[in-house]
Structure 1
Amino acid sequence: MPIRQVVYFGNNALDQTNEPVYGILASYDDEQYTSFWEELEYGTDSVEKVPFASNYQTLRRPENAKPAMVNMLRQQLATLHYGAGTDYNVIPEPLETKYMDWSLPPFNAGYHAFAAHYDVCDVQRKIRKPSQLIPGADANIFIVGEAYSNDQAWVEGAYCTAESVLNDFFGIGPIIDNKDYPFIAPPVD
């Protein structure tokens, strides 16, 4: 589903004796469904894709989501919780909605994920020295970075894959005891 992820937060009411106020982070989107939400942001007849914030200052606060985005979000939540074909009105109108497109400058953020049916642990281990994927090949070319780590999107992930390459391919011992903190996914027994 284009909604991809939903994170539910507990009661956020400032006065806990009043009516509860709950929050969700919905549509934390990545990969193939970003264009689905972009169409709701920009519209189908838009020649130019100009973010509704009208500028590239994403350091500003998130903007209010457009009504079409809110209704689609409600439809996606209705389908998620009650099944396909459920009227979106079963999901209450939100008190507030915000939208943020992190792919805009200055962040130009991206996201990566592994496709279904791949052994992520195996990929993490083998991609560090891609020549090991070719029988008989042995090239001293290495790939390090957060994308193939246990800490994706964090610089710490890049450090962990770099150290794992030094440990596993150059015989340099770990700087720290990594028994309880594996640098990359350990082999599955």
Structure 2
Amino acid sequence: MSHQQQVDPTILKKLSASVSHFHGPRKNLSYVLSVDPVVAGRRAARKDRDSCQFVTRSMNDFRNFRKSLLTRVGTYGDNKNPSAGRCKCDGVRGCPFDVTRTFLERLRFSRMPFFGIGISDNDINNRQLEMNNFLRIIFAILHRMHSNAWNSDCLFLQDVMNFLEVEQTFSDQIQEFLKHKGRQMNLEGWKAHTIETFGYGIRTQ
């Protein structure tokens, strides 16, 4: 992810992500994540998916992502310097996302057979479920935490944006899409209210 222009991390509150499909040989599968805007508390409808972006990640990428997040909240660290890599965006109080440590420690990814030998469709489906559960928990935390506590220098948030490749262009695209949807929903609400109040005698188009 480019750091030439720092992206406002609060854009994450307007996003969601899940593994949509996978491709490649079984011993080295690539998983395609769909990063979508959230409209009125729900992921964008399929017809609005032009506003999403797709990111390809390996199982190893997911493991490294989890490990990096755990490092940010103090679970992992260098033996010589236990605080190395830890996020301290909130000063002596550490990081607002330190509260996620227990959740992240519990969310583990199961191991696959060595060299991918004997991987079944059920194994792949279970792995996809684990990935989606991991992403669902991460976004549940992001959506519930008040953004006033967030810091643009937060390493935890930067890790999430790097993993999902949330750059300024995509952030701007999402903001424009949500503004358009907001205007559209307001217009539809006005039409519905007009019809309910005055009946079909007044044209609303």
TM-score bracket, shorter-length normalisation: under 0.3
Higher relative contact order (CA 8 A, sep 6+): 2
Q: Which has the larger Rg?
A: 1
Q: Which has the higher helix share?
A: 2
TM-score where L is the length of structure 2: 0.26
* Larger fraction in strand: 2
